[in-house]
Structure 1
Amino acid sequence: MEPQALGVYIPVVSPNQLCRWGEAANTNSVTKYRDTVKNSITSPFPYNQSINSKVILWDGDISLLQVDAVVNPTNESMTESNPVSDRIYQRAGNSLTDEMKRDIKECRTGEVKVTQGHSLSARYIIHTVGPKYNIKYQTASENTLHTCYRNVLQKSKELGIRSVAISVIHSVKRNYPPDEGAHIALRTVRRFLERHGSSLDTVIFVVDKVDLGIYEVLLPLYFPRSKEEENVARYQLPKDVGGPDGEPVMPDRQIRIIDNPQHTLQTDEECVDLSPHLEVSLGEHATFSQMQGDLDRQRLLGERSLSDPIADLMLKEIQHQERYEKLLRRARTEDLTEVSGIGCLYQSGVDRLGRPVVVFVGKWFPFTKINLDKALLYLIYLLDPIVKGDYVIAYFHTLTSNSNYPSFSWLREVYNILPYKYKKNLKAFYIIHPTFWTKMMTWWFTTFMAPAIKQKVHSLPGIEYLYSVMAPDQLEIPMFITEYDMTVNGLRYFQPGGATT
C-alpha cells in the first residue's frame, strides 16, 4: 500500500507481482502441425526466453503500476477523455493538469510528450496521440501507429527508463481495428527488445477485458514461449510481419508504376493495382466501398463502358441480391419449426442504445444433425427485419462441444450469402465464455474470411461484462449458462435487476 494525499491509501501494483510472459507457457494448448512445407523457413520471431522474461500482459488499472513510466493515449489537444486517461489524471492529481497547461499544451499525432508522474507511483507519464483509421489511408494509419509505439520506446531509452507500462494506443474510438493495431504494437516492441533489450527490464502491455482476448491469441506469434509455439506461429503470422523496426511493409498496397511512361496523365485511381489479394485481405466491406467509390467516379465522368470491371461488380451484386431475395421468400413460406424449436437463436431485448440483441446459444446448435439449409433459412427469417437497423449479437460458447462447431466452409457460405446490410448494421459481436481455441479460430475466420466485422468482435470472460452495454433484465439466457458463469466467476455474478450476490 502507498499513501496518497489526505492520508488516503491506494493499492500499488509492482511488476514483481505479475506473471512474466515467459512464465505463462502452456504448451498443452499448442496445436501440433506436421512441419513439412515450412521446414526450411526461419521464423521471423524465434523463441527467446530472455525477451519473454521482460514482457507482461495485464488487464488492470495502469495508474496503479509502480513502474518508471506509464503511457497515456490522448488527442492532439491533450484533452481526450477515455478510461486510461481518466484514471491517470484522477490519480496523478491537479498538479498534472497544471503541468500540461503550463508546459505541454499539445502533441501532434505520432509524437510523444513527457510529464512527471506526480501522485502516481510512476516517475513519468509518456503521452502520445494515435492515428485515426481510414481504410482509404490505411498505410498512413499503420505507419503512424508504429511511430507512436516506436517513439514511446525510444523516449524510454533516452530517459533511462527500465520499466514501462504501455496502454492500447490504437483506439477503437478512432475506428482503429483492435487486432490490426495489436499486431503493430507487438511486433514493434519485439523488434525494439531485440535491438535495445539491454535498455529495458520490463514492458507491460496493459489492456482491458475486450483487448485481452486479442493479445492472448497474438502474443504467442511474436513472443513464442517454446519451439512448438514458434513453429505454429509461422503458419499463423500475417503476410506483413514488418521491417527491421516492426514498421509496416506492404508492397501490394503501393501505387503501381505504369508500363507506358507516356501515359503521364493517368490518375491515381487508374494506377492502383486492384489485385485479388486486395479483395481477400480487406474483405467484402472494402470491396463494396471500392465499388461504390468507382461507381460515383463513373457517374461524374459519364463513363458507361460495360467492359469495365465495375460493371462486372455491379452484375455480381445484383445476382447476389437476387439469390438472397429467393432465400428470403423461401424462409417466409417454408415450415421451419424443426429449427426454431431448438431455441439456439432468438432475439432477447435491446441494449442500452435501444439496439436489438440477438442471442445464439452454441451448446444448443446440433450442427452434425440439423438440416443446414433450413438453419440458413431460419437465420434469414429471424434476422432480415432486425438488420434493417443497428443490432448486436451475443454468442454464448458456454459448455459448447465439438459436435456444435459449424464448419468453416458452411460459415463462409453463410457469410457470403448474407447481404451487405448484415455486416454494416452489426455493431458488436460478443463471444461470452470463449476458450483459447475459440479465440484462435475467431481470429482466423475474421482475418481471412470476414475482415469486415473483425473490429466488431469482442471476447468476454463472463456475463457481467455484457451489463455495461445492456441492462440485465434485457438478457434472457438459459439457466445452465448463468450456473456455469457463477461457477467460474464466483459470487460477483450480476443477477437480473441489477442486484449482485
Structure 2
Amino acid sequence: MSFVDPLTLRLSLHAQLNNGKMRLDAEQTLDAALNVEVVDAAALKPWSQIAPLPLGPLITPGPHNPASTFPCDPKLNAKIVLWVGDISLLNVDAVVNSTNESMTERNPVSDRIYSQAGQELLDEIQNEIKECKTGDVQVTSGHNLPARFIIHTVGPKYNVKYQTAAENSLHSCYRNVLQKACELGVATLAIPAINSVKRNYPPDQGAHIALRTIRRFLDKYSPSFERIVLAVENSDVGIYELLLPLYFPRTEQEELHAARQLPNCVGGSDGEPLLPDRQIRIIDNPHHLHADDEGLSTQLESLGVGEHAFSQMQGDLDQQRLLGDLPTYNSQYTSETLMREMQNNISYERLLRRARTEDLSEISGIGCLYQSGVDRFGRPVIVFVGKWFKFNEINLEKALLYLIYLLDPLVKGDYVISYFHTLTSSNNYPSFNWLKEVYNILPYKYKKNLKAFYIVHPTFWTKMMTWWFTTFMAPAIKQKVFSLPGVEYLYSAMTPDQLEIPAFITEYDMTINGIRYVNASESG
C-alpha cells in the first residue's frame, strides 16, 4: 500500500461523511490504511526499571553531603514512564494536549491528537469549549482516541523580562492538569512537554517545573494514579533522561548526586516558584528598623546614588543571605553592611565597564581560561588550566578584568567550572589575599549559579587550599567543590566531545590512570 498522509486522508474521508454508516466505513478504511497499533500504557517499562546512568565518584552519606528534598521512593518511580512516541495511540484514561487560547494551535502533538480523534473533536471545541486561558485546562471527550478524555491546556509565552510570570503559568498548567485528572477519576495519564520552543520557553527550565510539580503532586496524591506517562518528543528525551533522576532518584547514590545537582530553588510545597523578596519579615522592634532606614537614607544621599539601581538591591542581599555570604536577620544587620555590599557592587560595575572596553588580548592569549561546551544539563563549562596561569608573571588586574569579561554573560544562568591542576608548580599558585579580593568583588550571581567546581588532578596543596578557602572565606560554595583524580570522572557530568582540554592533560592522565581514561572516552 502506498503511503498516505494521515491528516490528509482523515480530512478527505470526513468531507465525504453524510450519515453514520458512511462514517463507520470511513473510519474502518482509515484504520486499515494507517495500520494503527494502540500502545497500552501498562506494557511500558516504568522509570523504576530503567537502570541509572554511571554517576562517577562514589558519594558517601554523611553530614557533609546535603539531603535531597526529593528522596528515593520506589512506589512513585513505578508510576512514572518516560516514553517517546505518538501520544494519540496511547491506551490511557486521558491524554494532555498543549494548545493556544483559541485552541487552534498547530504543532506535531496537537496535529496527531486532532487527526486521530476526528472531526467530532473539532466540533466539540468549536461548539462547546471555544477557548482556554493560559494556565487553565479544558476537557473534551477522546472521541476516536484510545483515551477517554483529552485535557487541553495553554502554556505560557516566555520572555526573560517576565520569567517569573511564565514559570507560574507553566506550573499552573501542570498542576491544573493533575488536579483535573483526579477529579475525572483518571488512573493513567499521558503528558507531553507543555512548554513550547515555539513560545520561546527553554526546554530544560520547562522540564524542571514539570518534574518537580508532578513529584510534589504524587507525594500528596499518589494513590490517585497508576501510571503517568511522560510522552516526550525526540528533542526532549535527553533532557528528561538527565533531569528525572533529580526528582525521582532510584537509588541512594542517585539521591545523593541529585542533591548536589538540583537548582537552588525547587519551589514550594506544590512545586510552585517562590519569590524570597516577597516573603513577610517579622522583626522584634519596628522602631529599630526605622532608625536604621533614616541613617541609611542620609548615607545614600551623601554617596549621591539617589535612584541608582544599587539603591534597589534588597532582593540581591536576600539571595546572598541564602548563600551564606551575609548575616541573617537573626544576627545584627546594620546599614554599614548594606553600604559595604553596595560599594562592592559599584566596584564590580566599574570593572565590568572596563572589561568591555580595554584590550585584554595579553590575558586571553594565554589560554588558561575559556568556555568549553556544555555539560549534560546544558550548562556552560568553564575550563581553567592551572599550569598556564603564571601568577607571578601576568598582570593580575587585567586577569580579573578578563575573568569578568568572560564569565559575566555566562553566570546569569547555571554554570560549572573545571579546574585542571595538572603539572602545576608554586609559580601557578595564587595568593590567598588575591583569591579573597576576587571572591569579594564578584556579585552573588557568580556563587548562586555555580553548580559545580571540579578540581582535576588535585594535590595536597589544592586540598588544603580548598578546605581553608571554603571553610573560612567561601562557605557558600563548599558543597559544590569536587576533587577528581582523573579526567574520566568528569564524563558523568559532561560528554567527552564537550570537553576541550590541552593535550598535556590527557597525556598525563593516561600515564597515571592508564586504560581507564581510554575506556571512559570511548563510552562517553
Q: TM-score normalised by the shorter chain: which range applies?
A: 0.5 to 0.7
Check if 1:58 corresponds to 2:117: no
Q: Is the 8 A contact 2:55 2:254 kept in 1?
A: no
- Rate the CA distance shift 1:51–1:10 in 2: closer, same or farther, 3 A: same
Q: Is the 8 A contact 2:352 2:404 kept in 1?
A: no
Q: Is the 8 A contact 2:191 2:230 kept in 1?
A: yes
Q: State the partner residue of 1:10.
A: 36
Q: State the partner residue of 1:372.
A: 367
* Per-residue deviation, residues 167-191 of structure 1 (Å, max 9, x unmatched): 1112222222222221111111111
* Per-residue deviation, residues 270-290 of structure 1 (Å, max 9, x unmatched): 545252686999xxxxxxxxx
Give me the whole-angstrom Cα distance separating, in 2, the residues matched to 1:396 and 1:139: 25
DSSP-derived class of the 2:114 partner: helix
Q: State the partner residue of 1:275.
A: 316
The match for 1:91 among 110, 116, 121 is: 116
Q: Is the 8 A contact 1:71 1:167 kept in 2?
A: yes
Q: Which amino acid aligns with 2:367?
A: L
Q: State the partner residue of 2:245.
A: 220
What is the deviation of 1:252?
4.7
Structure 1 segment 1-400 matched on structure 2, within 5 A: 5=30, 7-8=32-33, 9-26=35-52, 28-29=54-55, 31-38=57-64, 42-252=67-277, 259-260=289-290, 271-275=312-316, 312=347, 315-323=350-358, 325-327=359-361, 372=367
Q: Which amino acid aligns with 2:350?
A: L
DSSP-derived class of the 2:98 partner: strand
Give me the whole-angstrom Cα distance separating, in 2, the residues matched to 1:406 and 1:192: 33
Identify the range of structure 1 (212-221 vs 414-423) with the bigger mean alpha-carbon deviation.
414-423
- Rate the CA distance shift 1:211–1:190 in 2: closer, same or farther, 3 A: same
Q: Is the 8 A contact 2:155 2:195 kept in 1?
A: yes
Q: Is the 8 A contact 1:321 1:419 kept in 2?
A: no
Check if 1:409 corresponds to 2:384: yes
What is the deviation of 1:260?
4.0
- Rate the CA distance shift 1:26–1:395 in 2: closer, same or farther, 3 A: closer
What is the deviation of 1:85?
1.3
The match for 2:450 among 445, 448, 451 is: 448
- Rate the CA distance shift 1:419–1:48 in 2: closer, same or farther, 3 A: closer
What is the deviation of 1:310?
8.2
Give me the whole-angstrom Cα distance separating, in 1, the residues matched to 2:42 and 2:136: 30
* Per-residue deviation, residues 395-451 of structure 1 (Å, max 9, x unmatched): 999xxxxxxx98643699988544989999xxxxxxxxxxxxxxxxxxxx996379x
- Rate the CA distance shift 1:275–1:151 in 2: closer, same or farther, 3 A: same
What is the deviation of 1:394?
9.4
Larger radius of gyration: 2
Q: Is the 8 A contact 1:65 1:121 kept in 2?
A: yes
Q: Is the 8 A contact 1:130 1:145 kept in 2?
A: yes
What is the deviation of 1:223?
0.5
Give me the whole-angstrom Cα distance separating, in 2, the residues matched to 1:111 and 1:163: 20
DSSP-derived class of the 1:372 partner: coil
DSSP-derived class of the 1:10 partner: coil
What is the deviation of 1:156?
0.6
Over the aligned positions, Cα root-mean-square deviation in angstroms equals: 4.5
DSSP-derived class of the 1:133 partner: coil
Give me the whole-angstrom Cα distance separating, in 2, the residues matched to 1:422 and 1:406: 9
TM-score where L is the length of structure 1: 0.58
Give me the whole-angstrom Cα distance separating, in 1, the residues matched to 2:78 and 2:451: 35
Q: Which amino acid aligns with 1:230?
A: E
Percent identity, aligned pairs only, is: 44
Identify the range of structure 1 (30-39 vs 212-221) with the bigger mean alpha-carbon deviation.
30-39
DSSP-derived class of the 1:409 partner: strand
Structure 1 segment 489-500 matched on structure 2, within 5 A: none
- Rate the CA distance shift 1:249–1:133 in 2: closer, same or farther, 3 A: same
- Rate the CA distance shift 1:100–1:239 in 2: closer, same or farther, 3 A: same
Identify the range of structure 1 (88-97 vs 20-29) with the bigger mean alpha-carbon deviation.
20-29
What is the deviation of 1:5?
3.5
- Rate the CA distance shift 1:320–1:14 in 2: closer, same or farther, 3 A: same
DSSP-derived class of the 2:39 partner: coil
Q: Is the 8 A contact 1:76 1:107 kept in 2?
A: yes
What is the deviation of 1:143?
1.9
Give me the whole-angstrom Cα distance separating, in 1, the residues matched to 2:360 and 2:256: 46
What is the deviation of 1:154?
0.7
Give me the whole-angstrom Cα distance separating, in 2, the residues matched to 1:326 and 1:310: 22
Q: Which amino acid aligns with 1:106?
A: E
Q: Which amino acid aligns with 1:147?
A: S
Give me the whole-angstrom Cα distance separating, in 1, the residues matched to 2:253 and 2:410: 39
- Rate the CA distance shift 1:174–1:53 in 2: closer, same or farther, 3 A: same
Q: Is the 8 A contact 1:220 1:233 kept in 2?
A: yes
- Rate the CA distance shift 1:243–1:420 in 2: closer, same or farther, 3 A: closer
What is the deviation of 1:56?
0.5
Provide structure 2 residue ranges, at least 5 long, that are not aligned to the other structure.
1-26, 298-305, 323-341, 387-398, 413-446, 453-493, 498-521
